[in-house]
């Protein structure tokens, strides 16, 4: 089966250059709230060829800007599961950062519920575990609004922050993504039987190492917690550690 060209929905899945399908392992990557698949473009050259990187592009951003973004997690993962089948033809893992971690985890549950192939591993970065959710969210009820939250968390390019029209163009997708999170409330009775490797940034004000460590209750398989330097959005050093770890695991 390996080596056959895949017929995938190119709205949802971005491959960034390499189109041959001979890799032994596939890595599905999920972006953060307000982000896009392009954040993984440079990962293609940093990962070994044995790993086929596929970045998920949610509606409402980049080349899907005219599509309405999801505001509910169930609808999001239902739609994703409908189109993901061709990518599940070989061993695969999922990586997500921040909101992307929740999407990757919920997607894994959706695959299990549908008796579809499940990931061999979940890599979850900069996201507090579901068990730590208390119904309050740092972007809610702020005097400076969602724009203030964006500036506080960092990770948004200065050229966007300095141009009001660019920042305003970002906010609708970000608002929808955060609504996906604060309306989710998913607490499954049966944990996944999938190894989880969580990454926490030492100086993350939201997803602290202690809160990220709570992911250990979401799997009956192996759990590892790796604390990396920096804040909520991975620094270059932290990102390098994440990529090196994933590449070693999937060897």
Residues marked active site are found at 98
Nearest residue to 99 (alpha-carbon basis) of 117, 73, 65: 73
Sign of CA pseudo-dihedral 56, 108, 137, 154: negative
Angle at 187 between CA 184 and CA 191, to 5 degrees: 130
Q: Per DSSP, what are the bridge partners of residue 30?
A: 56, 96
Helix (H, G, I), strand (E, B) or coil at 27: strand
Cα–Cα distances (Å) from 156 to 49, 136, 159, 214, in that order, read 30, 23, 8, 27
Q: Return d(Cα 107, Cα 154) in angstroms, integer.
A: 27
Q: Return d(Cα 243, Cα 251) in angstroms, integer.
A: 12
Helix (H, G, I), strand (E, B) or coil at 92: strand
């Amino acid at each position: 089966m390996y080596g056959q060209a895949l017929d995938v929905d190119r709205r949802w899945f971005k491959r960034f250059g390499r189109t041959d399908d001979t890799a032994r392992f596939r890595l599905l990557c999920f972006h953060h709230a307000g982000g896009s698949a392009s954040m993984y473009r440079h990962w293609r050259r940093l990962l070994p060829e044995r790993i086929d990187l596929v970045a998920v592009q949610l509606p409402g951003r980049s080349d899907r800007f005219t599509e309405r973004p999801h505001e509910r997690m169930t609808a999001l993962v239902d739609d994703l599961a409908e189109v993901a089948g061709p990518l599940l033809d070989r061993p695969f893992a999922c990586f997500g950062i921040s909101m992307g971690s929740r999407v990757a985890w919920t997607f894994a549950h959706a695959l299990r519920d549908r008796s579809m192939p499940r990931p061999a591993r979940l890599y979850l970065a900069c996201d507090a575990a579901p068990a730590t959710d208390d119904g309050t969210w740092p972007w809610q009820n702020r005097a400076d609004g969602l724009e203030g939250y964006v500036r506080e968390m960092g990770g948004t390019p200065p050229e966007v922050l300095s141009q009001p029209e660019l920042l305003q163009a970002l906010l609708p997708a970000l608002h929808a993504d955060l609504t996906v999170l604060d309306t989710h409330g998913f607490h499954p009775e049966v944990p996944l039987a999938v190894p989880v490797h969580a990454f926490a940034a030492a100086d993350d004000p939201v997803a602290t190492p202690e809160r990220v460590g709570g992911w250990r209750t979401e799997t009956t398989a192996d759990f590892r917690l790796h604390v990396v330097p920096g804040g909520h959005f991975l620094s270059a050093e932290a990102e390098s550690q994440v990529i090196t770890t994933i590449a070693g695991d999937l060897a």
